[in-house]
Amino acid sequence: MSGLFARAGSLRDEYASAKPWPHIVINDAFPEKLLDMVAAECTALPEAHLITTNTDRLVKQEISDGLGPATQHLLSLMDSARFREFVSAITGVRELLSDPTHKFAGVHRTPPGGFTKIHRDFEVHPTTGLFHRVNVLIYLNRDWPEAYGGSLELWPADMSTLGRRIFPRFNTMILWETHGATLHGLPDPVTCPPGRIRLSVASYYYTTTRRVAASGERRVRYWAARPGEDQWIERMSWQDHLRALIPDPLYNVLRAARDRISGAHRSKTS
């Protein structure tokens, strides 16, 4: 990894000039043998251990605990002080902290027909109260034809036009500072055949202080409709309205309790 870390200065310039907002796409950043092992572990994860979401806006599987040794090794590398320094050098976000629990991160799986509509990310970690600042994604999809889809889309805050489409090629890493104006998603259903699945590993980074929004920065509450899509995607449900009324500290306590109950249920059924 030393060769990658040595490139931080030049990658910083590429990151800052990227459109529709600062980000970087790095190919072949990690040892292929390691990622092949991680992909095998992620594919073999029992569905009883996965958190599965199946809604009008999101069809996805994720898991952050009970991972295989290669996956744990990769995430430990991404948690390390040197990797965090590398991320800080590119993004300019200092004093980044990792999350050993990899809440909402870890392994992400999108099955055939799965998707995630364009959205902004959560701002506050539900357990630690730290502020979510940077995302790193690594794709694990070998022999993935373009016909399977699964590209990540990046959109500007005004949703005027697609900023960039990133194909989930094996050993592709994407890194960006996340906030209310960095809209992204996997909005079109994955078209891979049964037996294949879109795989990625995610690591999120945090700070003790909230990011200061830029002057005139437009923030989206959560979901965003692309041009031509039905605006229902952006409408708040009764759960969204209820969430807006609950203070963050109380909401985080309730969310952590729900997750503990869900985890205990998965353990009993596995």
The predicted structure's pLDDT at residue 67? 94
The C-alpha R_g of the chain, in whole angstroms, comes to 18
- Residue 231 pLDDT: 80
Task: Please give the CATH architecture assigned to the domain spanning 2-235.
Answer: Sandwich (2.60)
What pLDDT score does 201 carry?
98
Percent of the chain with pLDDT over 90: 67
The predicted pLDDT at position 233 comes to 78
CB-CB contact of 37 with 91 (8 Å): no
Per-residue pLDDT, 120: 92
Domain edges within the chain: 2-235, 237-270
Check residue 70 and give its pLDDT: 98
Phi, psi of 268 (to 5 degrees): -70, -35
Which segments within 55-114 are labelled E, that is strand?
58-63, 106-110
Distance between the two ends of the chain, CA-based, in angstroms? 37
Residue 49's φ and ψ, nearest 5 degrees, are -90, -10
Distance of CA 24 to the CA centre of its chain: 14
Peptide bond into 20 cis (omega under 30): yes
Give the Cβ contact number of residue 10 at 10 Å: 10
Say if CB 188 and CB 149 are below 8 A apart: yes
Give the residues of the chain that fall short of pLDDT 50. Answer: none
pLDDT for 222: 84
Residue 256: the pLDDT is: 62
Please state the φ and ψ torsions of residue 266, each to the nearest 5 degrees: -65, -35
Residue 165 CA to residue 21 CA, distance in Å, equals 13
pLDDT in tens, 200-258: 999 999 999 999 877 666 666 789 999 988 887 777 565 565 666 666 566 666 666 66
> Are 222 and 58 spatial neighbours (Cβ–Cβ below 8 Å)?
no
- Which amino acid makes up residue 216? G
